[in-house]
Structure 1
């Protein structure tokens, strides 16, 4: 067995190995402990088992009481922070809130992710997120709390899984750093208190990485298959974005699993089958279920789920192609003929979202910079440092395997997002926050374990000083908010870097290095932590929530409609299947939440889905299934989304056959009373 922290010599009957700095191995994995810097004095020949390239020398490091306490504190702080005043966000994104409301009342709506309880049309994403929120609504009753609390609890679960994965490849201290870094990332503080599908997607992606890391310990076909299952459900949360981590998992297992090449390939094929089954069952269900008795698959051109995968929510976004005549503008996703105006507050002074053109700089600038950019310089240093430091380690080295999975995840996801041409919402960067935090933690741990070398010490200085300077620069883009903070961060980072350099000198105590590292870590998280706290304290609604303090406008793209008491009362009094029909899902969602009735969303999210046809609409009117047709006035377009309607034929037919009346700010037609 290995000595505990603080031990200096491991004595064997036939020889002695002298270890140095074992008290610092809390940062390192067990693999690192076995290959740590040591002095050897062999007095007799030893016959110790030497791991071959196809053997993994051990499992996760043992857990000490202090590690369990630290883990408990990490989860408690995350839970309290993310659950605090969570209902300040109200219904969040009304588009998804309406679907959660529908799922809380109807099992078929829950299954398909319908926007309405009568199952006319789905939201434009798969339904996993709606399953969680809708089921919570069925159990506890639909409300802001029942919808948003599960989102916050997903943050706690994600932190736990990230901790567990990093601990197995980098030790408990690195795991704690990764967990706290995740909880203090602004986009995580934003989206794990919101009702978009991103939270459950990231939870499942992190679960897949955890299962893959577990698979490395014994080349477990079961654990790598479970990683495939997690990715399958991540796909059902947000399609292709949910499987951006798949190449990283596959490469890590192919490189580092402790078994033969043939078995590694066979295990990965099994994981692929598990993925196809866990994702494909829902696709098959939508194909086999008669289209006439299920909701229309929103965003598709032919009511086919795979059309949605390959088009609107897939390659069309990356390549900038329009879908179904609905042209997507870069970043905001507004209709092509609609001006997009958002008050970005201080964020707009350095290139607001509209200025984030495709390219390598996208993630470092604009709103992206504030949501994900704080640790990006450090993570690039960390990736290079770990790969260089572990270059000659055995193939099965866990620390390097961790760098592969987190590094490749970050690079693949980050590059796709950087060059994505259509509908690029800044909060999409949540998809690789666990990779950034895990990689930074591994880098700090590896550098600290090798701090007696210039590689380790230089890496620490580069990460701490780089993060401090970058945070100072980022905060300078919003210089009116807490102006002293950026200078404090800069000063703390410089002092920490100098302390680390000085502690290399002979006869300088180790305590100086420890103090300098602690100070540097504080400086590294001050900026991102302050922005996260500011984000937590503000309400977020609409289709484009943003991070930051009160000076920043918190929504954009498409906004929520204001309640109209007279219209709401009119719709509540109906007894038809649909209280009303209105162009676009955002307007329908607003009415559904206000009236607790089903509203037909003509044309779906962008207004261009080919449903209903004029004939279908006329048949529904004839069968008395729709109470009113709501036609928004020119200055009150549905959901603030704008654009020309693809269903003008329906609007023209209604106007020609029914009498209009003004209710509040809108024109309404009573479909039960045709002219003549």
Structure 2
């Protein structure tokens, strides 16, 4: 029998016991010189079996997956131009100035940052420094992040459920509309999801041998995900911790100790930048946009944290008022896909992810993923504690549930593309559940679960496409019919060993029908240009522009005036999006008064007066919409600056804007 991890051979004629090769899962009893009987010795705390070696066809499949992802996401990527001009201006600044790159400044004079941490800007800015700033140098790294995310997702699922399930997970993710949208765009979400997936991969690796090193690396990845998009980047943290705490093959105390080490790694990898913003003199670094007091943690806990989840100001965090932050905010944008709502006061609750623009972007495989989670937990209910398949379901399933519930009940400033944050979890869960159901197809639970996943996805795709019934109407009915026929065929054939090939064919057809809707919407997304602050998935609609909100239109005459300036800032203008438009069109630094919503307390009137006196600002620009009472979104902009400028300088009209030359005071 196995003693202390060794197998023992007993020779009946000698009375001596001798050690043999280590065989962790078996006992070797030598009955005679030539006869060996191997008996399994189950134990709940043994490490899971090593990942099976790759076969030739597995390598080919993996290569095809990566090439497909690269080709799809890189195809005509510059059709998206500057994408979100807000982040493009920061990438442009980072491509020219190292301090702007470090802090994620909107301008080369380092007046103000964007309202997110700078990891995404590091990637795009460095690419601009190496290759020169352009649409291609900015967006190609985003597409390559999709390839890296697919590779990490494949590697994680392969260790849990094998190469076939891993391929399914990878292709499912590549064909998710919100992924096809955001990995060809310049928002921070792409690098955030890449790092979240890397953290889960490290967590899965840690499970195999209870590795303190790998779980610490998961903490490092989460630290940089935090520096990509703050609290949203670490919503996968509970899932990784739960997975390791339940299934790692070592004692409970050791598991807790390893998780504390991972937490320390997270704090170090995220905290160094927070500490940098605290120790660096505020007078010589850019203002932290979105914060009420130029403090990074105020941005984390308020504007980009609990302020969005709770939807209102709290005394605890003293949130800076932001556009759309409160229920009584009069500002609302309804650029949703085909009239279903995309931003503003959409209803929160469990149905949010299945309705409106959220439904088109993320929900195609969500019903199947929920079925898969229940299915795997049911089928592996009696497995050892360290069972890797169940552990994977716990990790990916908890990621999906935690992230999905937070987005479902988030109160303010909810963009549907935030759902990218748990798209890898949905795809992994579908693949793990589908693989487990196929392996147990001889049971009614396995067979029924597989049918439920295929049929449920087909029916839901039919329903989703019905919301856009004018776009290839025959497609939705074809998906439904094929899904029903494949499900019936699977029920008939899956339980009979003699009909294995027929069952495999039925599953293949069912998978194609399940993937067709999400794939069609993804390809339609790739073929459309997307710019502005609210990009949308799917085919173009004649009555809406994909992502036009937040996209300011520049005037060539104003551009020429700003290009001719020799001051530090060519101009000053309310709000970051307007400043970003001018920066991109003039290649000059523009002072963004008040940050994204125009309400950040920077600059003060005194600071602005001093900059004008020192001849640092060329022009002050007032856009047409800024004349309305209450300013942008009903919020009060820096009216004191506007009043002071109007009292001391002469206005001229340039297009629809009013422009003041700050180098020529009125006489």
TM-score (ref. length: structure 2): 0.92
Relative to 1, partners in 2 of residues 1:636 and 1:167: Cα closer, same or farther, differing over 3 Å?
A: farther
Q: Is the 8 A contact 2:309 2:412 kept in 1?
A: yes
- Alignment partner of 1:438 is 2:431: no
Question: Which residue number corresponds to residue 40 of structure 1?
Answer: none
- Alignment partner of 1:241 is 2:232: yes
- Alignment partner of 1:255 is 2:246: yes
In 2, Cα distance between the equivalents of 1:116 and 1:601? 9
In 2, Cα distance between the equivalents of 1:306 and 1:183? 34
Root-mean-square deviation over aligned CA pairs: 2.2
Which one of 509, 520, 523 corresponds to residue 510 of structure 2?
520
Question: Which residue number corresponds to residue 326 of structure 1?
Answer: 321
In 2, Cα distance between the equivalents of 1:515 and 1:568? 61
Alignment of 1:491-510 (within 5 A): 491-504=481-494, 506=496, 509-510=499-500
Q: Is the 8 A contact 1:579 1:598 kept in 2?
A: yes
Task: Give the drift of 1:59.
Answer: 1.4
Alignment of 1:404-483 (within 5 A): 404-483=394-473
Task: Give the drift of 1:665.
Answer: 1.4
Relative to 1, partners in 2 of residues 1:263 and 1:575: Cα closer, same or farther, differing over 3 Å?
A: same
Which one of 75, 89, 103 corresponds to residue 94 of structure 2?
103
With 445-454 and 556-565 compared, the bigger mean Cα shift is at 556-565
Alignment of 1:259-270 (within 5 A): 259-270=250-261
In 1, Cα distance between the equivalents of 2:212 and 2:448? 39
Task: Give the drift of 1:523.
Answer: 0.4
- Alignment partner of 1:375 is 2:370: no
Q: Unpaired runs of 5+ in structure 1?
A: 1-12, 15-33, 36-43
Which one of 290, 294, 297 corresponds to residue 303 of structure 1?
294
Relative to 1, partners in 2 of residues 1:58 and 1:504: Cα closer, same or farther, differing over 3 Å?
A: closer
In 2, Cα distance between the equivalents of 1:351 and 1:125? 25
SS at match of 2:229: helix
Question: Which residue number corresponds to residue 626 of structure 1?
Answer: 617
Relative to 1, partners in 2 of residues 1:237 and 1:452: Cα closer, same or farther, differing over 3 Å?
A: same
Task: Give the drift of 1:351.
Answer: 5.7
Question: Which residue number corresponds to residue 533 of structure 1?
Answer: 523
- For residues 529-558 of structure 1, the C-alpha deviation after alignment (integer angstroms, 9 at most, x for no partner) is 000000000000110100010117344583
Q: Unpaired runs of 5+ in structure 2?
A: 1-8, 11-24, 27-34
In 2, Cα distance between the equivalents of 1:636 and 1:335? 22
In 2, Cα distance between the equivalents of 1:335 and 1:129? 33
Q: Give the total of aligned pairs.
A: 632
Which one of 316, 330, 335 corresponds to residue 337 of structure 1?
330
- Alignment partner of 1:312 is 2:303: yes
In 2, Cα distance between the equivalents of 1:159 and 1:519? 23
SS at match of 2:105: coil
Question: Which residue number corresponds to residue 385 of structure 1?
Answer: 375
Alignment of 1:29-48 (within 5 A): 46=37, 48=39
In 2, Cα distance between the equivalents of 1:668 and 1:278? 45
Question: Which residue number corresponds to residue 558 of structure 1?
Answer: 549
In 2, Cα distance between the equivalents of 1:127 and 1:151? 15
Q: Is the 8 A contact 1:340 1:557 kept in 2?
A: no
SS at match of 1:607: coil
Which one of 109, 131, 134 corresponds to residue 140 of structure 1?
131
Q: Is the 8 A contact 1:327 1:335 kept in 2?
A: no
Which one of 183, 187, 190 corresponds to residue 196 of structure 1?
187
- Alignment partner of 1:361 is 2:351: yes
Q: Is the 8 A contact 1:557 1:641 kept in 2?
A: no
Alignment of 1:173-184 (within 5 A): 173-184=164-175
SS at match of 2:634: coil
In 1, Cα distance between the equivalents of 2:342 and 2:232? 23
- For residues 627-664 of structure 1, the C-alpha deviation after alignment (integer angstroms, 9 at most, x for no partner) is 000011248889x9543443100000000000000112
- For residues 552-574 of structure 1, the C-alpha deviation after alignment (integer angstroms, 9 at most, x for no partner) is 73445832111211100000010
With 48-57 and 615-624 compared, the bigger mean Cα shift is at 48-57
- Alignment partner of 1:673 is 2:650: no
Alignment of 1:216-227 (within 5 A): 216-227=207-218
With 548-557 and 291-300 compared, the bigger mean Cα shift is at 548-557
In 2, Cα distance between the equivalents of 1:420 and 1:531? 26
Question: Which residue number corresponds to residue 403 of structure 1?
Answer: 393
Alignment of 1:57-96 (within 5 A): 57-96=48-87
Q: Is the 8 A contact 1:324 1:609 kept in 2?
A: no
Which one of 539, 553, 563 corresponds to residue 572 of structure 1?
563
In 2, Cα distance between the equivalents of 1:473 and 1:665? 45
Task: Give the drift of 1:336.
Answer: 2.6
Q: Is the 8 A contact 1:134 1:147 kept in 2?
A: yes
In 2, Cα distance between the equivalents of 1:532 and 1:375? 13
Q: Is the 8 A contact 2:343 2:413 kept in 1?
A: no
Relative to 1, partners in 2 of residues 1:484 and 1:440: Cα closer, same or farther, differing over 3 Å?
A: same
Task: Give the drift of 1:340.
Answer: 2.6
In 2, Cα distance between the equivalents of 1:351 and 1:608? 26
- For residues 562-595 of structure 1, the C-alpha deviation after alignment (integer angstroms, 9 at most, x for no partner) is 1211100000010110000000000000000000
